[in-house]
Each structure stands twice: as structure tokens, then as C-alpha cells.
Structure 1
Amino acid sequence: MEGDFMQERWPPIRLYLTGFMGCGKSTIGPLLARRLGYSFVDLDVLIERQTGKTIPEIFATGGEGAFRAVERAVLRQTAMLEAYVIATGGGTLASEENLDWALRNGCVVYLQVSIEELVQRLAPAARDRPMLQDWRRQPLQGAALRQRIASLLRRREAWYLRAHCVVSTDGLSVAETVEAVLQALRVYRSSRNERR
């Protein structure tokens, strides 16, 4: 299967992985990049390198507004990259400006996960996720965590669903998710070729 896909000779474009935190962008991204013969980068890692601060530190010192401003600038810098899979943050493309830019400058893939699965994945990591903490910076738990995830997902999913490719990942292993993304990309490429 891997050889078949490599023979398709994908042009050197940018693939932006989007979706809610915990959907697997940083896990799937490197594997997908390897299959395509691309490089991989995580936007949050680029932000931390540029600012010299962790994402929680940026939130703590400047709030979400400061973080989003840096995030927007670093996203634009990815226009210099060719043949890359880029994992974006959960809120990166949840804005008209950023989403339109990414749709124009690459192929956007939404990794869709149900609320139930997101709660299971994120509960152990809420301490490291500023958006999943209360005003005292304490991690949310139980019903409060589920409510926060559901509320954020409701606000963001309309943006996510505008991606070029939507891949539902519930119940899929990492390997199966990579295959599902590859298949969605094949369909996307085929539909683009038909429109030409």
C-alpha cells in the first residue's frame, strides 16, 4: 500500500491537519508525512521556538489573545514550506482569517473525533491544556471537562467542517487513521483533477 501511494507522486504542497485538541494531529502527522515523502512540523513547536516560551506560559503571561496573535503570524510563515504536513493547534483554523488562508495555501484535513472519545483522550492531559483549565489554572474534571470540550467543539466545528477533507477517526487505530487520511487525499486529488 505504501509503495502504491508513493507512486502517485504527490506534488510538493502543504497539508494542514486541523481538529480539536487530542484528535491525533501530532501523532498522525509524522506518519502521514513519511508515507507521502514529506517533512512534518507541529505549529505549537514552531511557536515555542520563536517565543522561547511554552504554550501554557504564553497563555499565563499574555492570555489567549497574545497566543492567537503569535499563532497567526507563525501560521503565515509556513507558506515558505514545501512538501510538509503541518499539525495546527485546535483553535488555529477556528477563525475566518486563518482558515481562508490555509484553504488557499494548502490542503486542509480535519481529523474528526466524537466528544466521548475526546473526553477519554484529554482527561489525563488537561493539566497541560490551558483551554481545559478553570480560572485558577486547575485542570477541569468529570462533567465540567465534558462541558468545556462540548462547548469549544460546538464553536469550532463549523470551521473544521470547511476543510478540503474530513476524516472520522472514532474507533480507528493510528495506522487505520493514516490509511483513512490517505484515501481521503486520493479522493480529493481525483475530484480536483476532474474539475480541471
Structure 2
Amino acid sequence: MVRIFLTGYMGAGKTTLGKAFARRMDISFIDLDWYIEERFHKTVGELFTERGETGFRELERNMLHEVAEFENVVISTGGGTPCFFDNMDFMNQTGKTVFLDVYPDVLFRRLRVAKQQRPILQGKEDDELKVFIVQALEKRAPFYHQAQYVFNADELEDRWQIETSVQRLQQLLGL
């Protein structure tokens, strides 16, 4: 039985690497944010606005516990998931946890392009975005570093890099 939780900041490549890794392993892939959106027929942003951060984080925790029941699965968590409640401990107890570590400059490059799809980033100028990323990483680092494995995910820009990263992750996890 395989259950892998991918954690890391937005833009780290949790979905990109997670999908490719699950395909290689011939197991299921679940993006926790997508799972929540399908269950509640609302975007994460809408749920966040309606329930507030505390309400959303409680819902997220419940959904994390639900998907952790699945077997033979790669689960991409939301960027903040490990930072609330006992989520990181729970994931460490129920599966293998991998922190996708990405340099702030790489995150900036990725998120700068995807700003419009991420409400929390909209309207931020480049300098503001850089500071925002660095501050968020500093705040979340103690949680992310509780993962059982740390994986550098700087290189996920093309098929070859993704395939190479999948192979490296497979070796790291001994699968």
C-alpha cells in the first residue's frame, strides 16, 4: 500500500510532479484543493471567503482525513495544509510525506506567470510578490521541514525535467 503526501508552497509543483509520479506508479492522484472544490461545488477562494480562514482550514482538515483513507494514492496538499492543526503529524503517521523545496526565485518566476489564477497574488507588483513569497516560506518552513523527505523541485519546466524528477522521487522513496 502506497500513500504519499506532497507538501510545499504554491507553485512548488505538487500537482505537476504528483500527477506524473502517480501515472508512473500506476496509482491514483488527488489534488486536495480540487477534491474540496468537487465535494462542495465551490472554489477554494469562495469557501475561504464564505467560511473565513478558520472555517476553511477545518473543512480542509476534514477532507485531508477523508482522502487519507484511500490506498495507493499520491495526494497533493494545499500550500497551507501542513501549517494548521495536527495536519503534518497526521500525514506523517498515515503515509510518506515529501516537502517539495523550491528556491524563492523559481517560485517567483512560476507564480508571476500564474498570478491571475491565484486570488491571494492578484494585484501584487513584482517586488511585493517576491517579499510575499519569502515571508510566507519563512513562516511555513518549520511545518514543511517536518516532512519525512525533502525533494528539490526547482526543475519541472519541461517533460524531460518532470520525468527526471519522477525518477529521482521514486529513488528517494525507495519505490
**Quick check: 1:61 aligned with 2:57?**
no
Question: What TM-score do you get using the length of structure 2 for normalisation?
Answer: 0.91
Aligned AA (2:106)? E
- Gaps of at least 5 residues in structure 1 are 1-11, 133-137, 190-196
Is the Cα–Cα contact under 8 Å of residues 15 and 108 in structure 1 kept in the other structure? yes
CA distance in 2, matches of 1:184, 1:152: 27
Aligned AA (2:129)? L
Aligned AA (1:165)? Y
- Give 1:155-194 correspondences, 5 Å limit: 155-171=139-155, 173-186=161-174
Post-superposition shift, 1:31? 1.2
- Gaps of at least 5 residues in structure 2 are none
Is the Cα–Cα contact under 8 Å of residues 59 and 130 in structure 1 kept in the other structure? no
CA distance in 2, matches of 1:64, 1:141: 24
Post-superposition shift, 1:61? 2.5
Q: 1:125 to 1:90 in 2, by over 3 A?
A: same
Residue in structure 2 matched with residue 152 of structure 1 by the alignment: 136
Runs of 4+ in 1 over 6 A off after TM superposition: none
SS in 1 for 2:30: strand
SS in 2 for 1:182: helix
SS in 2 for 1:80: coil
Question: What TM-score do you get using the length of structure 1 for normalisation?
Answer: 0.82
- Which one has more relative contact order, counting CA pairs under 8 Å at least 6 apart? 2
Is the Cα–Cα contact under 8 Å of residues 57 and 84 in structure 2 kept in the other structure? no
**Quick check: 1:100 aligned with 2:89?**
yes
Post-superposition shift, 1:70? 1.1
Residue in structure 1 matched with residue 123 of structure 2 by the alignment: 139
CA distance in 2, matches of 1:175, 1:29: 11
Aligned AA (2:52)? G
| Comparing 97-106 and 154-163, the one that deviates more | 154-163
CA deviation profile, 1:52-71 (whole Å, cap 9, x unmatched): 11112122323322221111
Is the Cα–Cα contact under 8 Å of residues 16 and 85 in structure 1 kept in the other structure? yes
Residue in structure 2 matched with residue 8 of structure 1 by the alignment: none
Aligned AA (1:183)? Q
CA deviation profile, 1:46-92 (whole Å, cap 9, x unmatched): 11012111112122323322221111110000132000000101011
Q: 1:64 to 1:96 in 2, by over 3 A?
A: closer
